[in-house]
């Protein structure tokens, strides 16, 4: 009755939302919920500095730390700072009211911002921070999934009758 599509890699949630809507239209009795790993996790603010939380979009402090905790063998030894898109001198800095992600987003590729593939500051990344992030993510999503399983939401019956 419910299908949760869970994504942990940025840049793909839009595609997941389109796929979810298409699945919902093809299977009218199936509720489809597209979810993004980092969305809505309130504890992130106590673990990641505000600036990095807002601008560390790819392979920055959070993602690098999480990978150091989960799969350190896949993480290189370099810790670049790259992908400046907020300082006024950056050609990638959006005008006031616009952003790379958020309420008024712009479609972007990592290569638009970064030579290294990093969009953020990975210098302080650590396995310890990664473990704390992992716990925050698990706690957040466990709570959401438990409340979902204890409910009948979302409804699949249309309020519009033919």
**Coil vs helix vs strand at 79:** coil
Q: Which residues pair with 7 in a beta bridge?
A: 36
CA 43 to CA 148: how far, in whole Å?
20
Per-position pLDDT tens, the chain of length 162:
899 999 988 778 889 999 999 999 999 999 999 999 999 999 999 999 999 998 999 999 999 999 999 999 999 999 999 999 989 899 999 999 998 888 898 889 999 999 999 999 999 999 999 999 999 999 999 999 999 999 999 998 877 766
Q: Is pTM, for the whole model, over 0.75?
A: yes
């Amino acid at each position: 009755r419910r299908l949760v599509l869970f994504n942990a890699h940025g840049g793909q949630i839009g595609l997941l939302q389109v796929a979810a809507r298409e699945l919902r239209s093809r299977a009218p009795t199936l509720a489809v919920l597209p979810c993004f790993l980092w969305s809505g996790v309130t504890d992130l603010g106590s673990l990641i500095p505000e600036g990095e939380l807002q601008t560390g979009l790819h392979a920055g402090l959070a993602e690098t730390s999480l990978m150091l905790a989960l799969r350190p063998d896949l993480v290189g030894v370099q810790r670049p700072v790259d992908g400046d898109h907020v300082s006024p001198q950056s050609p990638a800095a959006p005008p006031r009211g616009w952003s790379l992600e958020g309420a008024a987003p712009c479609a972007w590729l990592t290569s638009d911002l970064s030579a290294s593939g990093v969009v953020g500051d990975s210098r302080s990344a650590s396995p310890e921070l990664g473990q704390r992030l992992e716990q925050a993510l698990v706690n957040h999503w466990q709570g959401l999934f438990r409340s979902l399983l204890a409910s009948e939401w979302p409804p699949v019956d249309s309020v519009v009758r033919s």
